[in-house]
Amino acid sequence: MKQHSLFSVPPRETGRPSEAVPPSLSMTAEPLPQSLAPGQPDGEPHVYPDKDTDQDAARAAVLRAELNHHNYLYHTLDAPEITDEAYDRLFRELVEIEARRPELQTPDSPTRRTGGEVLPDLETRAHSLRMYGLDNVFSPEEWQAFALRAKRQLPEASEEIMNEWWADPKLDGLACELTYENGVFVQALTRGDGETGEVVTAAMRTVRNLPLRLRGNGPFPARLEVRGEVLMFRRQFEELNQRQEEAGQKTFANPRNAAAGSLRQLDTSITAARGLRFLAYSAGQILMEEGGEAGRGPWEKHADLIAAFREYGFETPTGGRLCCGLREAQTYYNEMEAKRDALPFEIDGVVYKLNDRDAEEALGYTARAPRFAVAWKFAARRAKTTLERITIQVGRTGVLTPVAELKPVSVGGVMVSRATLHNEDEIRHMDIREGDTVIIQRAGDVIPDVVGPVLEERKPDSVPYEFPRRCPECGSEASRLEGEAAWRCLNMSCPAVLLRSMVHFVSKAGLDVQGVGARWVEELVKAGRVRNAADLFTLEVKELLGFERMGEVLAEKFVTSLDEARRAAPLERFIAALGIRLVGEQTAKTLAADFEDMDALEQATQEDLMRLPDIGPEVAASIRAFFATDSNRTLLERFRAMGLWPRRKERPMRKETALSGKRILFTGTLSRSREEFQNMAEAAGALVAASFSKKLDYLVVGENPGSKLTKAEEAGIAVLDEAAFTALLDQKEGESAR
């Protein structure tokens, strides 16, 4: 099933540990689904049995329990079950009750804190200044009311000061605070519950756009806390999900969940591989001089602070600028909403901050949010339509993905006629049926998602959906492997699998042939001109010109790019292009470093393969199975005959070093980036592993090495510190390492 479903609609997931749900919730667990009923927008106050004479008190208790529960799901488990909007409505209802009846406020009310609990497995530390959340507004009227309230609360400030707002997009990621001491990055904390965050220093160090040292000549503040959002850009998100799917691992519902999952890793090499980014938008505590007084620094305006961040080398949210009053705030909002899909990352609104930092300080905070800043959220892009049919799409690895064929409907200005249903379990959980009225939503430009059926509108004769047991393309029996969510077609010559494999072969993840896109491959297959990837290389300009929309320039490019790939493709790209199950780009690299060519790889036994870093029994078996299949061998022979037969690149080894051919892994915090060390090791002929295994020759440890050090010691693997590693770089082979 989809592991991190953003919204899970009736019936509630049953696999969740029941102790995670406060007992008081049991009676509220069911009413939520009805929130999808027409005329009752989600999150609208529900009617609960009222045993208490004090309705407000009872309702407040229910809301607190419910909000705490959803906080926990959202912040601690990264697995929210209701929309942000639904949450916001419940939250506001509680705020409203507590404002009217202050005596009902309790110390544990979610209105008094900003987030979820802290995970037990990462060390936690207190923020020097609390990290607040933001209040939301949803309309120009509400924005205006917020701005007027701020004005009233600070009557002594000039009209001009109270009218000038810094606006930037509201980034949909994870808030994080970085600390710099005398210009050097020393600590990163997640927001956590606002008071205390998780220490993610090592993980954040792997984030590429994070300055490890502030740019410029200084002098730098003795201590500077920079706050911002950790994000996964859409492209990285899609690539990650593709890799996860190929490996039969869980996929993430959205970039925010993917960013959270990637940051809270005890193994920071996983974080490093995920391509996270940090965008800076505000400051925590600032201490200009050692022994001085902690404060807000010399920047009088928020705009100056942002400019300073940029000079220091931070990326800041795209398109931030000053807005004067409601009209400009509204213009900015409209512009951002229109640009939303074109941005490389997801945003869910606009944040407005008073530009004047004195006014900011004077206004301060309510119990839960600043009085000087507010988020104007975009309306959710949802719509109701009819699910006409469920069709099954066959992927390159044979995975059968159910697709909702919808009566076309406009969602936030885009016509949607298909949405993914992920897998069999997901359909069963939601009890989605053909003919149902369904709610769909679009988040960014990610494939639209089905939120759930509107049960009230279900036709009486509808029947539960039966997931097919046969491949819809070739009719062969499908199978669902243990531990996997997906059904697969295992027929190697299934036409759909072949087409997708061919598209993969020339794609970026494969040989990366420029100009040969999915559309053309499909067209050539349809025309019966190509049946497998080898056929592509037999195409000539003349015949290509016979295809509609194919001009001379494109046809030339098509043929030359393929020829270039044929002559010059590196072995690792070739291996990746073959689409061997469980062999992605990283594993292909490992194999290409160890084997001379495909002949050598074919000769490798299961044991030979498993000696390599990152290759376990499953991957080894999958590689063996690939070579054991006749159709694959025939295809390889054709590639060989046409000259597409790459050999291992001779490593540019300046000299044989003591590290040549050695398997090595880095862990802990090193004096330079992990990547730099990996490059040095590779240049010295070492094979860099991506994760721990008993097959390692060396483990190089920096500060706070964690569990890998213990494991290495237990397994009797040689442990080196940085200095010992550097010494080995220059040592001749055969000399002793110790």
171 near ligand IVH, rule: CB under 6 A: yes
Residue 344: cis peptide before it, omega within 30 degrees of 0: no
**Surface-to-core class of residue 24, CB atoms within 10 Å of its CB (0-12 exposed, 13-18 middle, 19+ buried):** middle
Residue 417: both structure tokens together:
């006629």
Beta carbon nearer to ligand IVH, 176 or 699: 176
Q: Taking the CB of residue 457, how many other CB atoms lie within 10 A of it?
A: 15
Annotated catalytic residue 589: no
Q: Among 351, 432, 506, 696, which residue interacts with ligand IVH (rule: CB under 6 A)?
A: 351
Cα angle, residue 273 at apex, residues 268 and 277 outer, rounded to 5°: 90
Stretch that binds ligand IVH, among 6-14, 165-173, 490-498, 675-683 (CB under 6 A): 165-173
370 near ligand IVH, rule: CB under 6 A: yes
Q: Do strands 174-181 and 223-232 pair parallel, antiparallel, or not at all (unpaired)?
A: antiparallel
Q: Among 282, 355, 437, 441, which residue interacts with ligand IVH (rule: CB under 6 A)?
A: 282
Q: Among 317, 510, 579, 646, which residue interacts with ligand IVH (rule: CB under 6 A)?
A: 317
Helix (H) or strand (E) holding 636: helix 630-641
281 near ligand IVH, rule: CB under 6 A: yes
**Surface-to-core class of residue 52, CB atoms within 10 Å of its CB (0-12 exposed, 13-18 middle, 19+ buried):** exposed
Task: Please state, in angstroms and rounded to a whole number, the distance separating the CA atoms of residues 84 and 655.
Answer: 58
Output the smallest distance, CB 429 to ligand IVH, in A. Answer: 29
For the segment 417-476, give every residue that binds ligand IVH (CB under 6 A).
none
Task: Please state, in angstroms and rounded to a whole number, the distance separating the CA atoms of residues 697 and 705.
Answer: 17
Q: Among 168, 225, 346, 436, which residue interacts with ligand IVH (rule: CB under 6 A)?
A: 168
Beta carbon nearer to ligand IVH, 343 or 394: 343
Output the smallest distance, CB 347 to ligand IVH, in A. Answer: 8
Output the smallest distance, CB 359 to ligand IVH, in A. Answer: 14
Main-chain dihedrals φ then ψ at residue 66, nearest 5 degrees: -65, -45
Cβ-Cβ contacts under 8 Å for 672 (sequence gap 6 or more): none
For the segment 512-541, give every residue that binds ligand IVH (CB under 6 A).
none
Stretch that binds ligand IVH, among 16-24, 162-170, 539-547, 558-566 (CB under 6 A): 162-170
Output the smallest distance, CB 320 to ligand IVH, in A. Answer: 7
Q: Among 170, 301, 382, 504, which residue interacts with ligand IVH (rule: CB under 6 A)?
A: 170
Binding-residue pattern over the window 176 to 205 for ligand IVH, x denoting contact by CB under 6 A: ---------------x--------------
Q: Among 177, 225, 229, 246, which residue interacts with ligand IVH (rule: CB under 6 A)?
A: 229
CB distance 188 to 179 below 8 Å: yes
CB distance 182 to 222 below 8 Å: yes
Stretch that binds ligand IVH, among 166-174, 196-204, 455-463, 500-508 (CB under 6 A): 166-174
SS3 category, 163: helix
DSSP letter, residue 475: -
Active-site hit among 51, 151, 170, 557? 170
Both ends of the chain: CA-CA distance in Å?
A: 50
Helix residue spans in 206-301 (DSSP H): 234-246, 255-263, 268-272
Stretch that binds ligand IVH, among 289-297, 369-377, 449-457, 640-648 (CB under 6 A): 369-377
Task: Please state, in angstroms and rounded to a whole number, the distance separating the CA atoms of residues 625 and 631.
Answer: 12
Question: Dihedral, CA atoms, 699, 664, 270, 704, nearest 10 degrees?
Answer: 20
Output the smallest distance, CB 575 to ligand IVH, in A. Answer: 41
Output the smallest distance, CB 171 to ligand IVH, in A. Answer: 4
Task: Please state, in angstroms and rounded to a whole number, the distance separating the CA atoms of residues 15 and 431.
Answer: 16
* CA nearest to 635, candidates 561, 581, 580, 557: 580
373 near ligand IVH, rule: CB under 6 A: yes
Task: Please state, in angstroms and rounded to a whole number, the distance separating the CA atoms of residues 374 and 682.
Answer: 49
Q: Do strands 718-721 and 698-701 pair parallel, antiparallel, or not at all (unpaired)?
A: parallel
Q: Taking the CB of residue 641, how many other CB atoms lie within 10 A of it?
A: 10
Q: Among 79, 104, 118, 175, which residue interacts with ligand IVH (rule: CB under 6 A)?
A: 175
Beta carbon nearer to ligand IVH, 169 or 255: 169
Q: Do strands 164-171 and 124-126 pair parallel, antiparallel, or not at all (unpaired)?
A: unpaired
Beta carbon nearer to ligand IVH, 197 or 398: 197
Output the smallest distance, CB 77 to ligand IVH, in A. Answer: 18
Stretch that binds ligand IVH, among 47-55, 168-176, 196-204, 440-448 (CB under 6 A): 168-176
* CA nearest to 85, candidates 382, 388, 310, 313: 382
For the segment 94-153, give every residue that binds ligand IVH (CB under 6 A).
132-134
Main-chain dihedrals φ then ψ at residue 389, nearest 5 degrees: -150, 160
Q: Spell out a b/e string for 113-143, using b for 16 or more CB atoms within 10 Å of the CB, else e.
A: bbbbbbeeebebeebebbbbbbbbbeeeeeb
Output the smallest distance, CB 83 to ligand IVH, in A. Answer: 14
Beta carbon nearer to ligand IVH, 5 or 190: 190
Output the smallest distance, CB 361 to ligand IVH, in A. Answer: 12
Chain residue whose CB lies nearest ligand IVH: 175
375 near ligand IVH, rule: CB under 6 A: yes
Stretch that binds ligand IVH, among 164-172, 323-331, 399-407, 674-682 (CB under 6 A): 164-172
Binding-residue pattern over the window 232 to 271 for ligand IVH, x denoting contact by CB under 6 A: ----------------------------------------
Tell me the site size for ligand IVH, rule CB under 6 A: 18
Output the smallest distance, CB 144 to ligand IVH, in A. Answer: 20
Distance of CA 647 to the CA centre of its chain: 35
Q: Which residues bind ligand IVH (CB under 6 A)?
A: 132-134, 168-171, 175, 191, 229, 281-282, 317, 351, 353, 370, 373, 375
Active site residues: 170
